[in-house]
Structures are given as structure tokens and as C-alpha cells.
Amino acid sequence: MNGTESTRADLASRLGVPVGPELLQLALTHRSFAYENGGLPHNERLEFLGDSILGQAVTVMLYRENPDLDEGELAKRRASLVSSVALAEVARSIGLGEHIRLGRGEELTGGSDKSSILADTVEAMIGAVYLDCGPDVATDFVLRLIRPLLEDPDRFGAAMDPKTSLQELAARLGRGLPSYSVLDSGPDHSKRFHATVLVGGEPVASGEGSSKKHAEMAAALEAWTLLQAQQSGRGAKGRTVRTAPKPDTAHHATH
């Protein structure tokens, strides 16, 4: 076993899941690495599978553990727990970024800490666990990953209305109203929007999306997360999140 394989084996051991080395490597292979190395298989099919398993596990858990919540509130909580920002937080907590196989371009632009890539890789890991270990182990794995997120009750409101939540937090901190700067790029039929949110006149976070609204929502949620962390004394650096929070089980916003 070489050093890289040993490190990945350590990751699997730390996560408490006996995923085989080949499937684990596939789960950690981003498409940018695959394309730069002759079209190798990458993790997007596993991500597709993991997204479904994640949604089911979270939905069943919320239904069973919250008998007094109506359908609307359950849906809001599920959306907050399976959003790209939430999954990226999970990924950072387990040090997943350092294990992802990225192309050179993504490595140079900080791909190992991009929320979109981290979230996708978490889902791919869930898919790999399902295939190698079965549905029960995969469900336990999902719940173990997201359980810490349940301990932050403020998360539910922020994920559903990030711009309002950021405005309220900025007001409590005496930082004034947030403002947004939005740029777009790409052809008319496939534009991408990049939003930067300023709080107290200083850029705090940025976000990308397929519309101005989605980009601003992504930036607002990332800024809210960073300011909450700083307020709690944990500290954080500004990051770019690539998509707005997913409204249901898909992590690309469709509002």
C-alpha cells in the first residue's frame, strides 16, 4: 500500500466505514482530475446515488424524531441539512478536502475547499458506502455525518432565507445592512452569476449560481455561516460557494 492509499484507508477507518480502496478512490475522484488523466471514471454517478440516499435518510429521521412538525417545517429542515453549505461543513469537519483528487486547474483555484466540490464528494462517499456496505450502514453513516448539524437550531432559518438571516445577524453585530455586487459571465444561453456580499462595507463572502438571485442567496448563506463562526470564536476565512442551497434533495437551487 502506497502513501496515498494508506491515507485514504485512514480516512475510511476514521469514518467508520469499510469501503474498498477502488470504490473509495472513485468517490474521491473529481471530474477535473479524470479529464486531465485520459478520461478516467469520476465520482458523479456515485454522487447521484448518494444524493438520493442522503435525502431518504434525512427525511425518515426527521419524520420519526419530530412528530409534532408539519410537512412544511419538515421540508424546511430537510433542505437546510442537505444544502451544499451544510454538506461542505460536514466535509471540512472530517478533513475530506485533502483527499479529493482534483485537476491542476481546480487545485490552483482552491478546489479542495470549494463548497460545491466538497458537498458533491460527501454525496459520492455516501453512494460508495451504500454500494459496498448496504443500505443500513449507509443510513447510519449519513446520520452520523449530519447529527452535529442538528445541534445548531439557527441553521434552519438561515438556510431557508439566507438574505434575511444575514441582515438580522449583521444588525445584531452592529455592522449595518449587507449589500451585494453581482457580475455575470458566459454566453446568454448559459450565464453564470458571481455575487459578493459586503457587510459594513467589507467583502465577507461570495457565491455563484445560474441566476442573480441564486448567487446572492449562496453568498448570503456563506457570509451568515462565516459571521456565526466568528461570533462563536471559531474564526473562518472568506470562501466562495458555487450554488444556492438546495430546496429539497438536490443541491442545485431551482427557485
State the pLDDT at residue 159: 67
Give 188 or 223, the one with higher predicted confidence. Answer: 223
21 pLDDT more than 60: yes
45 pLDDT more than 90: yes
Confidence of residue 113 (pLDDT cuts 50, 70, 90): confident
253 pLDDT more than 70: no
- CATH, domain range 161-241: 3.30.160.20
Domain with CATH 1.10.1520.10 in the chain: 3-152
State the pLDDT at residue 248: 36
State the pLDDT at residue 88: 87
Instruction: Identify the CATH class of 3-152.
Output: mainly alpha
Tell me the CA end-to-end span of the chain in Å, nearest whole number: 47
Mean pLDDT for the chain? Answer: 83
Where b means 16+ CB within 10 Å and e means fewer, 85-121 reads bbbbbbbeeeebbebbbbbeebeeeebbbbbbbbbbb
Catalytic sites, residue numbers: 51, 123
Report how far residue 46's alpha carbon sits from residue 122's, in angstroms, rounded to the nearest whole number.
Answer: 10
On whether 36 is known to bind a ligand per the annotation, the reply is: no
Report how far residue 73's alpha carbon sits from residue 35's, in angstroms, rounded to the nearest whole number.
Answer: 41
